[in-house]
Chains A and B, each alone.
Chain A
Amino acid sequence: MNEKEIIIRLKKIVEPYVQRMEGLKNFREETDFLNDLQINSANLVDVVLDVEDEFNIEIDNDSMEGMLTVGDAKNIIEKKLAN
C-alpha cells in the first residue's frame, strides 16, 4: 500500500468526525486533527478504532498519543503494516 492510498483511506475514516469541512478540502500530511479538522478530542479514540479496523492493525496507547496530524497517522500505519 503506498502513502497516497493510505491518506485517501484515512480521509474517508476521519470524515464523519470532522467539524471544520474546510480542513477536509485541504487534507494533507500537515493537517492537524484537532486544530485544522476540529475533531472533538474524545472522538480521537474512535478514529483510532476505525483505523485499526480498516488496516487490520493494532495501535497501542503510546502510538496514539503521537498521532496529532495526518502525517503522524500515516507513519504509524506504515510502521504497523510493515511489522
Chain B
Amino acid sequence: MEKRVVITGMGVAAPNGVGLNNFEKALKQGQSGIRFFPELEKLNFSCQIGGKPEISEDLLKEYFTPLQLRGLNSSGIVYGVISGTDAWKDAGLEISENGSPDWDSGIIFGTGILGVDKFREAIHLIDGGKTRRLGSTSVIQTMASGISAYLGGILGCGNQVTTNSSACTTGTEALLMGFDRIKAGRAKRMLVGSCADHGPYVWGGFDAMRILPNRYNDDPEKASRPMSETASGFVPGSGAGALVLEDMELAQKRGAKIYAEVLGGEINSGGQRGTGSMTAANNEAVQRCIERALINSNIKSTEIDVINGHLTATSRDSTEIKNWTKALKRKGKDFPFINSLKGMTGHCLSASGSIECVASVLQVEKEFIFGNLNCEEVHPEISELIDPNKIPKEKKQKKINILAKASFGFGDVNAVVLFKKYIV
C-alpha cells in the first residue's frame, strides 16, 4: 500500500509574525506586516514599502552559533534557518550533534535567489581588486542551495538535501516534491519549505516592471489588496515557511502531533504557450493543474471547503478566480470560501508558497478561515463569478475538511496541493 503523508511540525518567519504562535495570532487578527522603508525612498523606488520579518539580535543567537553569525549577511538564510529549525523542534524531533546522520530524513528547501546582500558585498570587494578579502563565507551564503546546506548541517539530515527553484511556486513545489519522496518510500521524513531574501536588490526588478503599487507609500498597511476593486499591484515581501512531512505510520508510532494530511497535488507548466508567457500563466495549464490535483488526491471538487489562492493583488486575480470556477465547476454561491494571505504579508515571492502552506494548514487544524485584508470592495469581475460572501473580510470559525492551496510563478509554472483534516 502507498504511504500516507502527514504534517507533524511547522515553522515560519513572516512579515506579520515570526514563530508559529505569533503568526497564528496575526492571521486571526488580520495583522499586516507591510511597512515603509526609508531606504527604498532614498533609492527612488516607486514602491517604497514591503514586508520583512522582524528578527532581533537576541533571536538570531538562538539559531546561529557566534561563528555562523560572523559575516552573516543573507536574509534568506536567516529566515530559512529560523523557520526550518522551528519546524523540526515543533515536530518533537531531536537534534543530535554526534554520530551518524539521520539517513531517513531529508530536506527540500527552495529559494529564488539567495544572499543578495552578501553578493553585493562580494561585488564591491571584487571590483575593488580585493577578491582575497571575501573570506570563507561568500560562497556558502550565496549558493542557491546555501539554505538547504545550512539546515542540513544544523539538523544532521542524511537523506536527499537539496534546493528547488520555481519562482513564486517554489515553496508549494518543495512540499509536493518532499511528499513524493516519502510516498515512494525513499525517505521517512522530509523538511520542506522555502525562503526569500528581502531588500532593494531583490525587489528592484519588480519595481522596474511597474507591477508594484506606488500610491500607498504613506499608508503601507492598505497597499496589498488581493481581489479588491482597487488592487494596484503586489507588495514585495520576504521570509520563510517550513513544514515537516512524515510517513503517517512513523508519525503515529512515535506519537507525534499531526497537523493535517497531505492528500496530494499536481505540479505543471503552461509551456509559455496559449495565454501563457514568461510572466503570465497559461489558463489551460492552471485549470489542468487543479483538476489533476483532485484526481491525484482522489477527491471530488465538491469536497473542497476552502481555497487559499495565489491571488497577488494584480489584475490577474480575476483570471485566477475564473480558472478555479472552471476547474472545479463551481461558481456563485456554490464556490468554496477563498482567501489570500498576501493582504497581510505582501507577496513573499519564493517564500510565498511555504508561508501560505503553513497558513493553510493552521486554518485546517485550528478550524478557522482568516479574513481577507483590504478587500472591502470585491472586484466586479470577481463578484460576477463568485458570491462575494465566499471572500470573508473577517476571521470566520469553520470546520475545514479539505483545503486547496495553489501557487503560480514566473516561467508559467503551477503547483496545487490538497490538505485534509487529520482525525485521530
CB within 8 Å of B: which residues of A? 16-17, 42-43, 45-46, 49
Contact = CB atoms under 8 A, between A and B. Distances in A.
A11 B400 CA distance: 60
A16 B135 contact: no
B133 A49 contact: yes
B70 interface: yes
Contacts, number: 16
B70 A45 contact: no
A46 B133 CA distance: 9
Interface string B120-160: 00000000000001011100000000000000000000000
Interface in B35-77: 66-67, 70-71
A16 B66 contact: yes
A42 B136 contact: yes
Most chain A beta carbons < 10 A, residue from B71, B133, B135, B137:
B135
A45 B67 contact: no
Contacts of A49: 133, 135
A45 B135 contact: yes
A49 B71 CA distance: 12
Nearest to B67: A16
A43 B66 contact: no
A17 to B, nearest CB: 6
7 contacts: A16-B67, A16-B70, A17-B67, A43-B136, A46-B70, A46-B135, A46-B136
Contacts of A42: 136
A62 to B, nearest CB: 13
Nearest to B69: A16
A45 B137 CA distance: 10
B348 to A, nearest CB: 31
B360 to A, nearest CB: 40
A49 B136 CA distance: 10
Contacts of B71: 46
A3 to B, nearest CB: 27
A49 B131 CA distance: 12
A76 to B, nearest CB: 16
